Amino acid sequence: MRETFRNSILAAAAFLSLFSLAALPAAAQATASRGPRTADGKPNLNGIWQVLTEANWDLQGHAAAAGPMIPLGAIGAMPPGQGVVEGEQIPYKPEALATKKANFANRLKLDPEVKCYLPGVPRATYMPFPFQIVQTPKFILISYEYANAARTIYMEDPGPAPVDSWMGQSVGHWEGDTLVVDVTGFNDQSWFDRAGDFHTDALHVVERYTLHGADTLMYEATIEDKNVFTRPWKISMPVYRRLEKNVQLMEFKCVEFVEELMYGQYRKKPAKQ
């Protein structure tokens, strides 16, 4: 008897919801495109995210090419990419372009990624590793799997960066549904990609994170460095939510993997038994 009663309520509810669904498709669609929200009504960026681009190989469009390490064969080859730079070309000053080319020629020695150094911004975003956003009203933590890199986005401006650093100082604010992050206080050590694209400590990056539905984050970064570029330039790419069950950031503490490369020459010889 109780079962029958519950079934009839369910049937009534289903009947009613047919009407409400039919009446509200536009509103429902709007909610979906606005994506999930936090308790304070902001777009909810919490989650584990990762890009699907070849930007870390070269921000500019490029055909596939052999890699710098012959023994790696196809594993080390550069996959092709259509590029993520608005207007296709990075607007280098002539002398800076020469530096970029020299960087590329010596990339095994000079690319900070080879040595497991911190990736800087925006490179951290498009490294081929996931990152996790932990969002609170005053601070947003981004934890990157690569090299256990991390940064805190201050939602209240703490004033000028106290010291230059690899990941810079990030200060965020909301423009409508877009998180805008102003990043300053960089040192001159990080690169933008494996193609030798570089900057000085005058680098200024403005990032824009906008949810597009629940599982896609549109990412833009405007890059400015008067020592290297003739004008500010922009990259953009989607970042996708990692949806695997129980997905979590794991450790990529790569220091251990570069010790032989960096310190092998100082090892006691003959090798230990």
Partner 1 sequence: MRFWIATLVGMACWAAPPPKDAKYVPPRTADGQPDIQGVWNNATITPLERPAELAGKAVFTPAEAAAYEKRFADQNNRDRRGTDATSDLAGAYNQAWFDRGSKVVPTLRTSLIIDPADGKIPYSEEGRKRMAAAAEYARVHQMDGPEDLALADRCILWGTAGPPMLPGPYNSNYQIFQAPGYVAIAIEMIHDVRIIPLDGRPHLPGSIRQWLGDSRGHWEGNTLVVDTTNFTDKSHFRGATANMHLTERFTRTDANTLTYEFTVEDPATFAKPWTASIPMAKSAGPIYEYACHEGNYAVPGILGGARAQEAAAKAGK
CB 86 within 8 A of CB 236: yes
Name the segment binding partner 1 (CB under 8 A); options: 6-14, 17-25, 54-62, 265-273: 265-273
Distance from C-alpha of 58 to C-alpha of 195, rounded to nearest angstrom: 5
Candidate list 136, 200, 227, 230; residue touching partner 1; CB under 8 A: 136
246 contributes a contact to partner 1 by CB under 8 A: yes
244 near partner 1, rule: CB under 8 A: no
Among 16, 158, 174, 226, binds partner 1 (CB under 8 A): 158
Cβ atoms within 10 Å of 217's Cβ, excluding its own: 23
User: Does residue 33 interact with partner 1 by CB under 8 A?
Assistant: no
With CB under 8 A as the contact rule, which of the stretches 87-95, 99-107, 161-169, 222-230 interacts with partner 1? Answer: 161-169
Window 196 to 215, contacts with partner 1 (CB under 8 A): none
Residue 162-181 contact track with partner 1, rule CB under 8 A, x = bound: xx-xxx--------------
Q: CA 151, CA 131: separation in Å to the nearest integer? A: 11
The Cα–Cα gap between 207 and 221 comes to 4
Check residue 8 for interaction with partner 1 (CB under 8 A). no
Binding flag, residue 249, partner 1 (CB under 8 A):
yes
Beta bridge partners of 175: 178
Binders of partner 1 among 49-108, rule CB under 8 A? Answer: none
Q: Look at residues 172, 257, 163, 249 and name the one whose alpha carbon lies nearest to residue 206.
A: 172
- Closest distance of CB 58 from partner 1, Å: 24
Taking the complex as a whole, the smallest distance from the CB of residue 168 to partner 1 amounts, in Å, to 9
- Coil, strand, or helix at residue 141? strand
Report if residue 152 touches partner 1, rule: CB under 8 A.
yes
The least CB distance from residue 50 to partner 1, in Å, is 15
> Is 259 a residue that touches partner 1 (CB under 8 A)?
yes
User: How many other C-beta atoms are found inside a 10 Å radius of the C-beta of residue 186?
Assistant: 24
Q: CA 243, CA 49: separation in Å to the nearest integer?
A: 9
Whether the link from the prior residue into 122 is cis, omega within 30° of 0, is yes
The residue whose two tokens read 């040192």 is: 187
For helices 25-34 and 2-23, the axis angle rounded to 10 degrees is 80
CB of 207 to partner 1, least distance (A): 18
Spatial CB neighbours of 134, under 8 Å, sequence gap ≥ 6: 46, 140, 141, 142, 143
Q: Could you list the residues that contact partner 1 (CB under 8 A)?
A: 38-40, 46, 112, 115-118, 132, 134-136, 139, 141, 143, 148-150, 152, 154, 158, 162-163, 165-167, 189, 246, 248-251, 253, 255-256, 259-260, 262-263, 266-268, 272
